[in-house]
Amino acid sequence: MKAIILAAGVSKRLRPITNNIPKCLLKLNGKTILDYQLECLVKSKISEVLIVVGYKKNMIINHIKQLNYHCVVKTIYNDIFDKTDNAYSTALALNYVNPEIDSTIILDGDIIFDIELLKKLVVSKYKNVLIADNTKKVEPEDCKVKIINNYVVGLGKAIQGETVYTSMIKLSGKFLDEFKEELKKPRIKPEWYSEPLHRLLVKYPEKVRAIFTDGLLRYEIDTYDDLIHAIEIYKEIKQRYGESGEM
């Protein structure tokens, strides 16, 4: 099983904090967001992690060189990170994934989460499954998930959905192959990967299952207020597993 971390973006909404550092290297009580994600992936038995970098790429690459995790960690450079959204970054990473043999977890590089959520994806019997937050109040700007009979039939900001997408998904097999092909299609404007994924969900409404947070913590960091809140959520997650950090 492989994992993709999308960490190429400029993070304009966090300026001036991100003027000189990529968002994934911001620290939560001494540990970077990236370190926390990698720690969780390793503890969940992920064999290879592909990190898509762009903005301040050398800082991320040099940081990774200092790490010593028991899995393969590769960086993939999105050289037009300032002109694209994460659909392009996802396509770049999926060039290193073989849908016939690989299951692949995709994570945004700006989220923290309870490791039990990640384990839900890893151990799920379903080949294609995403995690939806069924406890968060749905806001207009959220990426929403529309679910019928536990299958995901729609995804995105523009749809009417009853839960919020966590930016945590596992894909494999023929559906992953279809997703790769959808990402390769020409587009007239930058897209989030949720948009080509939504087009496939409309076409194949019984391919991706939904599982739920059910109160387990997950948080996305876009603004300064988000960062402050994330620090508190990180404390709560760590307290849940004790000072040893064992998860």
| CA 22 distance to own-chain centroid | 16
pLDDT value at residue 105? 96
Q: Is the distance from CB of 244 to CB of 163 less than 8 angstroms?
A: no
For residue 54, is it within any domain?
yes
Closest CA to 12 of 22, 26, 27: 22
For residue 245, is it within any domain?
no
Instruction: List the domain range (segments joined by +) for residue 74.
Output: 2-240
CA distances from 215 to 83, 132, 212 (A): 36, 11, 8
What phi and psi values does residue 107 have, to the nearest 5 degrees? -130, 140
pLDDT value at residue 246? 44
Looking up residue 172, the CATH number of its domain turns out to be: 3.90.550.10
For residue 247, is it within any domain?
no
Q: Is the distance from CB of 131 to CB of 117 less than 8 angstroms?
A: yes
For residue 184, is it within any domain?
yes
Q: Which residues contact 147 (CB under 8 A, 6 or more apart)?
A: 132, 153, 161, 162, 163, 210
pLDDT value at residue 243? 46
pLDDT value at residue 85? 87
For residue 109, is it within any domain?
yes
Q: Is the distance from CB of 158 to CB of 202 less than 8 angstroms?
A: no
pLDDT value at residue 242? 59
How many independent structural domains does the chain possess?
1
For residue 246, is it within any domain?
no
pTM: 0.91
Encoding tokens for residue 81?
């990170």
Task: Note down pLDDT in tens along the chain; length 247 residues.
Answer: 999 999 999 888 889 988 999 999 999 888 899 999 999 999 998 989 999 999 999 999 999 988 877 778 999 999 998 888 899 999 999 999 999 898 999 999 999 999 999 999 999 999 999 999 999 888 888 899 999 999 999 999 988 888 999 999 999 999 999 999 999 988 888 889 999 999 999 999 889 999 999 989 899 998 999 899 888 888 888 887 754 344 4
